[in-house]
Amino acid sequence: MREGADAFHGALDAIPERLPVGERLRLAMRAHLRVVAQQLDVATVFVREWRYLERERRDEILAERRRYEERFRALFREGRELGELRTDLDEGAAALLVLSALNWAYTWLTAGADTDALADRFFALLADGIRGYATPR
């Protein structure tokens, strides 16, 4: 579990902060899929098997998972606040959507898949739905 947390957080840590938030989101998706592809066993345990932990170990991994999810929420929130994403974007829902899609990759990702290209396609699909002007309330 710890290796999985370290791998996913480390992948996000490598993304330069100076880039526009949209680019950081795309690279975060690439980083996540790359961890899944390159460390399938570790990613599977972090994404799925944490449920079988008890007490302190479970609490520790849940805290790491929440911290990782918050890093994605923060990217969406920053994009909304800077006007790079919809002003009415729900960053919690956006993060859950992205992470739900990326987390299931351990079940269907094939060996040798171009995860960067796949992440870019995912990002293009999602960005077209969240970029632009805010809808009236």
What total of structural domains would you count in the chain? 1
Q: What is the pLDDT along the chain (137 residues), one digit of tens a residue?
A: 788 889 999 999 999 999 999 999 999 999 999 999 998 888 887 778 777 778 888 888 888 889 999 999 999 999 999 999 888 999 999 999 999 999 888 888 888 889 999 999 999 888 875 555 555 55
Does residue 112 lie within any of the structural domains? yes
Query: Model pTM?
Result: 0.86
Does residue 137 lie within any of the structural domains? no
Q: What is the pLDDT of residue 44?
A: 82
Does residue 80 lie within any of the structural domains? yes
Does residue 136 lie within any of the structural domains? no
Q: What's the pLDDT tens digit per position in 59-84? A: 888 888 899 999 999 999 999 999 99
| CA–CA gap between residue 61 and residue 112 (Å, rounded) | 29
The full 3-state SS of 25-75, as one line of letters, equals HHHHHHHHHHHHHHCHHHHHHHHCHHHHCCHHHHHHHHHHHHHHHHHHHHH
| CA–CA gap between residue 81 and residue 71 (Å, rounded) | 15
What domain range includes position 95?
2-130
Does residue 54 lie within any of the structural domains? yes
Tell me the Ramachandran region of residue 132: left when phi exceeds 0, alpha when psi lies from -120 to 50, beta otherwise: left
CATH number of the domain bearing residue 30: 1.10.357.10
